[in-house]
Amino acid sequence: MSTRIVRAACPHDCPDTCALLVTVEDGRATKVAGDPDHPATQGVLCTKVSRYTERTYHRDRLLTPMKRIGRKGEGRFAPISWDEALDTVAERLGSIAARDPQRIVPYSYAGTMGLVQGESMAARFFHKLGASLLDRTICASAGATALRYTYGASVGMDIEFVDDAKLIVIWGGNPIASNLHFWTRAQAAKRRGATLVAIDPYRSLTAEKCHRHIAPMPGTDGALALALIHVLIRDDLLDHDYIARHTVGFDALRERAALYPPARAAQICGVSVDDIEWLAGLYGRLAVRERQPVAIRLNYGMQRAHGGGQAVRAVACLPSLVGAWRNAAGGLQLSTSGFFPIDNQALQRPDLLPGWPAVPRTINMSTIGDALLGQGLPAGAPPVEAIVVYNSNPVAVAPESAKVAAGFAREDLFTVVLEQFRTDTADYADILLPATTQLEHVDIHKSYGHTYFLANNAAIAPLGEALPNTEIFRRLASRMGFTEPCFADSDETIAAQAIAASDARAAGIDWDTLKEQGWQKLKLPAAPFAEGGFPTADGKCHFYSEAMARDGLEPLPDYVAPYEGPASAPELAARYPLAMISPPARNFLNSSFVNVDSLRATEGEPHLDIHPDDAAARGIVDGMMVRAFNDRGSMQARARVTDRARRGLVVGLSIWWKKLASDGKNANELTSQRLTDLGRAPVFYDCLVEVEPAPGTDAGLGASAMEPALP
């Protein structure tokens, strides 16, 4: 028997980007483990990826190209050859492109975060074709835009130092589920005396383990952050030297924060004045009076509402006000992705666009339902006639799902899906193409939670007839007659092209070393912003942003109320009084892994957490099947009556495959296609609903309700 250990990288959309060691015995991957030597991974993987072989060798892997033989969405397919599949796709795309290539839309996100299997060969292909561009906004663009205006890029503190922090504020994140390796460090800090605070409307797995949990209503974080700023200024808990030398617009920020005394914010957010006074006092005292490291781990939960961008702006001001950046264990981290010197030009080749530097129209992925239905496009805009989906599952993950599904069901839409599994989206494909998993292809990875480049070597041969995304687009390019040399680049060549080697941060990092060693850390100082030096034009933190004023945006951090709430929409709130959020479930990765039996068994079935008072008012008991609904749609779930959900809030952990839910629906039936204040991002957690016992089910006889009472 031959046994090899292959160095690889976790491809999933997770800030931890773990370094993997894959055991291969006689050509079969038998074990996926964390690299014990990689400082970010520390030999530990989450439950999901420890089960990666279960996913790779899953009985439902797509192993041959297929064409649709049933109705769209029905999921009936017949196998065809690669030649027939690629000829069909090339012929259809070619004839549409001959009329207007903008009628073709690529749709992709972070099914793999790899730079090679993500936007490299695929981007080259769509650029050369002249297809519509895709605005990839579905996850991070509200916060990324806010950080760009405030600090110049998505940069922040290095989590590897957070063990030394004295206060860690976990704001809108549930790291036990979604950022495990940060949580390990936060616990180390806790053991060394740090105070942990969670700011989250829901008592998540993480919030319950923090010293204090502050639970604002969803989408109100901007007001909370401005009140913290208010108290820091009122009590002179400020690093005047840092403010003077490394920030812009303090006086204007002071005026803005004056509008948010704690009492006002407490009322907007539904928290106590004491919560605000306590947190601001502790944060300011530790940082300014005691010069101790204070860290904020800012995440995505708070970005998924109307004011998500400005809320990030407001939170991002805090570390500069108290000089927290002076310490390696202090500051703020939302994302580290802006540190990586990536040569996107080389990877994606926008210069191949027919009219470059003029660009085709852009379709926002977050409003794909409307786009496919021809709604919200400018008058006279060409309809979408073809969509090519890879690395994404829009029918499950995009908002206002009824419209997304209706769009994909259009008979006159030509749909190609590159997938590993027959997802909710794959069911709508005209041509379904089998893609390799991470164990079967080569890739290079950056991270948004640490500062290492990682290599992913292929551990095993592709299963069945599956091909890497790159090879599928390479073959399509050849059939379309694209002859530029870049269409012949191998995956390893592309991996090498990804690193902008001229950048000092990449000193000593190259593909050959990387694939040998598995990972290499960027060259960065421990406390990169101890003396300012942010990647803005002037190196300063912009409390007031000239650039925002120029772009027609509110230049100061602000509180923007949720679209759907009693303040902005009282009539709607009267009909749908409960705010619904649908954050990640621990055992799924967005909609990936929902089809892995062992992980789905742990999650059980779709649940809806509801506060005992809200449940009682609706005749809902624990374990009852309930129906959440609003004007956009409905979904069924098993009620969990629990004060984990604060009053007025319901929580449906996500993202379920629709076809694996009892009613064929998931949380995105309820979410809207409205967009955030900055970054054109979706507002998944800005969503009012009503909940009732599900008609015609076991209402009133819920499983746990029938259990005998314990003595």
Chain residues binding ligand MGD by CB under 6 A are: 13-14, 109-112, 117, 138-139, 171-174, 177-179, 199-202, 204, 218-219, 221, 299-302, 305, 390-393, 397, 418-421, 423, 435, 469, 581-584, 586, 588-592, 654-655, 667-668, 671, 684-685
Residue 436 near residue 57, CB atoms below 8 Å: no
Q: How far is CA 610 from CA 257, 301, 576, 623, 690, in A?
A: 34, 18, 14, 11, 11
Q: Which residues pair with 649 in a beta bridge?
A: 579
439 forms part of the interface with ligand SF4 (CB under 6 A)? no
17 binds, among ligand MGD, Mo ion, ligand SF4, none (CB under 5 to 8 A by kind): ligand SF4
Nearer to ligand MGD, 121 or 620 (CB): 121
Nearer to ligand SF4, 47 or 493 (CB): 47
In the list 21, 22, 33, 46, the residue contacting ligand SF4 (rule: CB under 6 A) is 46
3-class DSSP state for residue 40? coil
Nearer to ligand SF4, 159 or 589 (CB): 589
User: Per-residue x/- mask for ligand SF4, residues 186 to 225, rule CB under 6 A?
Assistant: ----------------------------------------
Q: How far apart are CA 650 and CA 656, in angstroms?
A: 16
Distance in Å, CB of 646 to ligand MGD, minimum: 10
Residue 453 near residue 426, CB atoms below 8 Å: no
Phi-psi region of 200 (alpha: psi -120 to 50; beta: other; left: phi over 0): beta
Distance in Å, CB of 447 to ligand SF4, minimum: 8
Q: How far is CA 502 from CA 348, 411, 498, 519, in A?
A: 18, 49, 12, 19
Number of H helices and E strands in the chain, helices first, is 25, 27
Write out the DSSP string of 365-415. Answer: GGGHHHHHTT-SSPTTPPPP-EEEEES--HHHHSSSHHHHHHHHT-TT-EE
**What strand order describes the sheet that includes 19-25?**
3-9, 19-25, 28-34
Q: How far apart are CA 306 and CA 638, in angstroms?
A: 28
Neighbours of 596 (CB within 10 A): 20
Distance in Å, CB of 297 to ligand SF4, minimum: 15
Nearer to ligand SF4, 132 or 299 (CB): 299
45 forms part of the interface with ligand SF4 (CB under 6 A)? yes
Q: Which residues of 535-545 are buried (b: 16+ CB within 10 A; e: fewer)?
A: bbeeebbbbbb
Size of interface with ligand SF4, in residues (CB under 6 A): 12
Nearer to ligand SF4, 145 or 456 (CB): 456
8 forms part of the interface with Mo ion (CB under 5 A)? no
Nearer to Mo ion, 139 or 316 (CB): 139
174 binds, among ligand MGD, ligand SF4, Mo ion, none (CB under 5 to 8 A by kind): ligand MGD
In the list 12, 230, 304, 646, the residue contacting ligand SF4 (rule: CB under 6 A) is 12
3-class DSSP state for residue 537? coil
48 forms part of the interface with ligand SF4 (CB under 6 A)? yes
Single out the segment in contact with Mo ion by CB under 5 A; choices: 131-139, 210-218, 404-412, 610-618. 131-139
Distance in Å, CB of 46 to ligand SF4, minimum: 3
10 binds, among Mo ion, ligand MGD, ligand SF4, none (CB under 5 to 8 A by kind): ligand SF4
Nearer to ligand MGD, 425 or 536 (CB): 425
Name residue, tokens 């993480």.
206
Distance in Å, CB of 139 to Mo ion, minimum: 3
421 binds, among ligand SF4, ligand MGD, Mo ion, none (CB under 5 to 8 A by kind): ligand MGD
Q: Which residues of 523-534 are buried (b: 16+ CB within 10 A; e: fewer)?
A: eeeebbbbebeb
Nearer to ligand SF4, 18 or 121 (CB): 18
Single out the segment in contact with ligand SF4 by CB under 6 A; choices: 12-20, 82-90, 131-139, 524-532. 12-20
Distance in Å, CB of 507 to ligand MGD, minimum: 30
49 binds, among ligand MGD, Mo ion, ligand SF4, none (CB under 5 to 8 A by kind): ligand SF4
Q: How far apart are CA 18 and CA 43, in angstroms?
A: 9
403 forms part of the interface with ligand SF4 (CB under 6 A)? no
Distance in Å, CB of 436 to ligand MGD, minimum: 6
* Sequence-ordered list of residues with C-beta below 8 angstroms from that of 697, at least 6 positions apart, any chain: 625, 636
18 binds, among ligand MGD, ligand SF4, Mo ion, none (CB under 5 to 8 A by kind): ligand SF4
Site for ligand SF4, residues 17 to 36, rule: CB under 6 A: 17-18
3-class DSSP state for residue 538? coil
Distance in Å, CB of 679 to Mo ion, minimum: 13
* Residue nearest Mo ion, CB atom distance: 139
Record the tokens describing residue 57, joined without a space: 């060798």
User: What number of residues does the chain have?
Assistant: 711
Neighbours of 74 (CB within 10 A): 12
Nearer to ligand MGD, 327 or 364 (CB): 364
Q: How far apart are CA 130 and CA 274, in angstroms?
A: 57
Name residue, tokens 């409960």.
578
Count the alpha carbons within 13 Å of 635 in the hemisphere toward its beta carbon. Answer: 34
User: Per-residue x/- mask for ligand SF4, residues 568 to 607, rule CB under 6 A?
Assistant: ---------------------x------------------
Q: Which residues pair with 387 in a beta bridge?
A: 105, 415
The angle at the Cα of 155, spanning 150 to 159, to the nearest 5 degrees, equals: 130
In degrees rounded to 5, what are phi and psi of residue 74? -75, -30
Q: How far apart are CA 472 and CA 483, in angstroms?
A: 16
Neighbours of 483 (CB within 10 A): 10
Sequence-ordered strand ranges (E) for 175-292: 195-199, 212-214, 247-248
Record the tokens describing residue 608, joined without a space: 């809806």
- DSSP class of residue 682 equals B
Residue 230 near residue 222, CB atoms below 8 Å: no
In the list 180, 265, 413, 649, the residue contacting ligand SF4 (rule: CB under 6 A) is 180
Size of interface with Mo ion, in residues (CB under 5 A): 1
Nearer to ligand MGD, 423 or 676 (CB): 423
302 binds, among ligand SF4, ligand MGD, Mo ion, none (CB under 5 to 8 A by kind): ligand MGD
Distance in Å, CB of 138 to Mo ion, minimum: 7
- DSSP class of residue 286 equals I
Nearer to ligand SF4, 117 or 630 (CB): 117
139 forms part of the interface with Mo ion (CB under 5 A)? yes
Residue 401 near residue 665, CB atoms below 8 Å: yes
* Residue nearest ligand MGD, CB atom distance: 301
Nearer to ligand MGD, 302 or 386 (CB): 302
Distance in Å, CB of 436 to ligand SF4, minimum: 17
In the list 16, 275, 440, 677, the residue contacting ligand SF4 (rule: CB under 6 A) is 16
Residues at the contact surface with ligand SF4, assessed by CB under 6 A:
10, 12, 14, 16-18, 45-46, 48-49, 180, 589
